[in-house]
Amino acid sequence: MGHFQVDVRGADDRPGDARATVRRWRLGHRPALDGLRGLAVLIVVADHVGYLHEPAGSIGVTVFFVLSGFLITRVIVEARDDGTWSFIGFLGKRFVRLYPALLVVVMVVSGILLARGYPFDRWAVRSIPALVYLQNMVPLVRYEVFGHTWSLAVEEQFYFLWPLALPWVLRRPRPRTVLALAIVGSAASMVALPHDWLPMHAYALLAGCALA
């Protein structure tokens, strides 16, 4: 896919060039971004436990998605600049970072439910989508046990697709225009079809990508 690098003029000044990292700034560790992500998580938790009310939770999720899109895009582009990019390695790091915690939560909650006589078939219907990052795509059922994992599913689906789409976007004459159109389309789909599928939430993730 080529080596991703560009001067400070930005990708739009070099039509057809798939290189897009600004040389003068690198992500590194940004405590302020960690703090902002933590604040977004606290807002969502406060909404779920009743201390805050909607749209607080939705705002928290949206902020988290924007930050995720920004951070992941910087990680991908900078790794390409350094010549260390690996799609499998990228997915592996995301898996190691996120899946163990998800597995522990599902196992603990499942153990409690099954010990209390919760039917096995109902448990399977609710737990398997969460474990395979498809919770956001399953039809709503009564007593959603792992329903809150929908946002994690959206992120993981994005982590899989965005590294494949990013080179194509950067090769467009106007990549920011492409992103803007995609953001508008995603926002429109959210209004027309209020589901938690990836296309309906992509506007927030892509907004972060555009900022990167």
Residues 96-122: pLDDT tens digits? 999 999 999 999 999 998 898 888 888
| C-beta atoms surrounding 31 within 10 Å | 7
Q: What is the pLDDT of residues 41-62, one digit of tens each?
A: 777 777 666 676 676 778 878 8
**Angle of helix 56-82 versus helix 31-49 axis, rounded to 10:** 150
In the chain, what percentage of residues exceed pLDDT 90? 43
Q: Return all residues near 90 (Cβ < 8 A) that are at least 6 apart.
A: 75, 76, 79, 159, 163
Residue among 116, 80, 77, 84 at smallest CA distance from 208:
77
Alpha helices in the chain (DSSP H): 31-49, 56-82, 87-115, 120-131, 150-170, 175-192, 198-211
pTM of the shown model: 0.77
Q: Is 18 in contact with 1 (CB distance < 8 Å)? A: yes
